[in-house]
């Protein structure tokens, strides 16, 4: 064989190895990019790994009829509801209306209990007295 042919075969082999290394690096770059996109979506709202929580300036105040509707909706969704410390067992509006738990003209303050994921677990309604301050 001619020296030129041997040199061309060597250069071709080196070029083939170089191009395969480039394609491999491109594939790894795409995987890194996908992983970084996932991580940035998870930590986009975090500030130095400190989770901020929402706090209410004023408690939620409902009329008796509003509290009744909230109770029907939430008991049907599996959330525990207590009215003045008494648990509400049924989410059926007719049964709940028959028990006279809520007074339509009264006002109720709502307190929410959530789990560590922020999912609503319980609502506690407390009837406000006529002169009671809502704060």
pLDDT at 18 over 90: yes
How far apart are the two ends of the chain, measured CA to CA in Å?
97
Query: How high is the pLDDT of residue 56?
Result: 56
How far apart are the C-alpha atoms of 74 and 91, rounded to whole Å?
A: 8
Which residues are within 8 A (CB) of 110 and not within 5 positions of it... i.e. 6 or more apart? 59, 60, 61, 62, 67, 70, 123, 124, 125
For 42-97, how does the pLDDT look when each residue is reduced to its tens digit (9 = 90+)? 666 655 555 556 665 677 888 888 888 888 888 888 888 888 888 887 767 677 77
- Which of 3-12, 33-42, 46-55 has the highest average model confidence (pLDDT)? 3-12
For 102-121, how does the pLDDT look when each residue is reduced to its tens digit (9 = 90+)? 788 888 888 888 888 888 88
Structure token pair of residue 87: 């648990």
How far apart are the C-alpha atoms of 79 and 33, rounded to whole Å?
A: 41
């Amino acid at each position: 064989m001619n020296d030129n042919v041997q040199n061309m075969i060597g250069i071709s082999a080196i070029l083939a190895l170089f191009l395969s290394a480039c394609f491999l690096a491109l594939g790894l770059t795409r995987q890194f990019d996908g992983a970084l996109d996932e991580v940035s979506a998870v930590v986009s709202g975090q500030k130095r790994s400190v989770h901020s929580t929402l706090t209410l300036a004023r408690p939620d105040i409902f009329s008796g009829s509003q509290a009744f509707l909230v109770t029907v909706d939430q008991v049907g969704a599996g959330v525990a509801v207590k009215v003045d410390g008494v648990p509400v067992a049924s989410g059926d509006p007719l049964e709940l209306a028959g028990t006279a738990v809520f007074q339509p003209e009264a006002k109720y303050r709502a307190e929410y209990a959530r789990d560590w994921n922020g999912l609503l677990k319980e609502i506690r309604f407390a009837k406000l007295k006529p002169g009671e301050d809502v704060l």
